[in-house]
A and B are shown apart, each in its own frame.
Chain A
Amino acid sequence: MAAKGQKPVLANPMLARAAFEHDLIVVLGGRRVTWGESGWTRLDELTLLIPLTGYRNQVADGPAFLLKLDFRHYPEWPPGAQFVNPTTNTYTFPADRFWLPRLESDEIRTHENHPNIGQLICSSVTREFYEILHDVDDKYVWKHPKQTFAATLNTIEGALTECYNGRFSPKPS
């Protein structure tokens, strides 16, 4: 179980996959879409790619971003979350800064190259937040099944509407 001051540990892959697939059905249902309609892709059994759009003043800022969720530590820990270059499905600093949205609020903040971890979507619903032993109020510590990866996705997607401040680089490398 996730806990403050502890680093995430890998889950049993079969249990992680079972939890992911169970929650995936609910998450898609809540979004009123089927898998085929979602536009999502699975890179492998425990990795999900989700296109997301940033909005400034309700105007979409294209091209879309690509969020990669990594379920290897799920569900005891939240999924790893990274924005990636849609060509490579990876993030390399500084080449891929264009593909990283600048999200800035008191609940979430993106970092292009955080010490020891690289890209960081700093929020208590991402695994990387716990990897860096970020301080957190007990009430915000990840708790499955009260939270599923819906919380991760909805927090990040909401931020792309409410606190999106452009890209870390104006042009792709």
Chain B
Amino acid sequence: MITDNKTETEISGTSENAGGPEVEFLDLNTNRDYRFQVRWSDTLHSALDTAYTKIGEAPTGEDKLLCEKDGESLMGYLALTFEKLRDQHICPGHKYKLRRKTGGA
């Protein structure tokens, strides 16, 4: 599991009620996890940008961010801060799936 050179214990020990939650992005191209800490004032979009940096890929404009738990699209919530996401109970586990478009059909 990719944890930005930190152990899960190190991350979870500072999560939630401190500066902000730990978030987790699952890259559906590889099933690799990218976990890191964000601030409550950060937006989902900024966290997504961080995830792209860690993955080493650029956004395409065709990608979709989904909630890992129920698969719901989160593309309409990218501008919200984690504080707002929490208050509105949007994907409360902070676990996300990043899906890239494929060619075909």
Contact = CB atoms under 8 A, between A and B. Distances in A.
Interface of A: 23, 26-31, 104-109, 122-125, 129, 134, 136-137, 139-141, 145-148, 150-151, 154-155, 158, 161
A104 B102 CA distance: 14
Interface residues of B, number: 19
B102 A30 contact: no
Given A29-B1, A161-B71, A124 B29 contact: no
B26, B56, B104, B105 — most chain A CB neighbours (10 Å)? B104
Main secondary structure of the interface of A (DSSP, over half): mixed
Given A139-B60, A161-B71, A148 B29 contact: yes
Interface stretch (B4-12, B30-38, B45-53, B75-83): B30-38
A124 B30 contact: no
A109 B105 contact: yes
B103 A123 contact: yes
A155 B97 CA distance: 13
B32 A123 contact: no
Contact of A140 (B30, B56, B101): B101
Given A139-B60, A161-B71, A146 B29 contact: yes
7 contacts: A30-B30, A109-B105, A124-B103, A129-B104, A140-B103, A151-B29, A151-B30
A141 B101 CA distance: 11
Contacts of A30: 26, 30-33
A58 B101 CA distance: 22
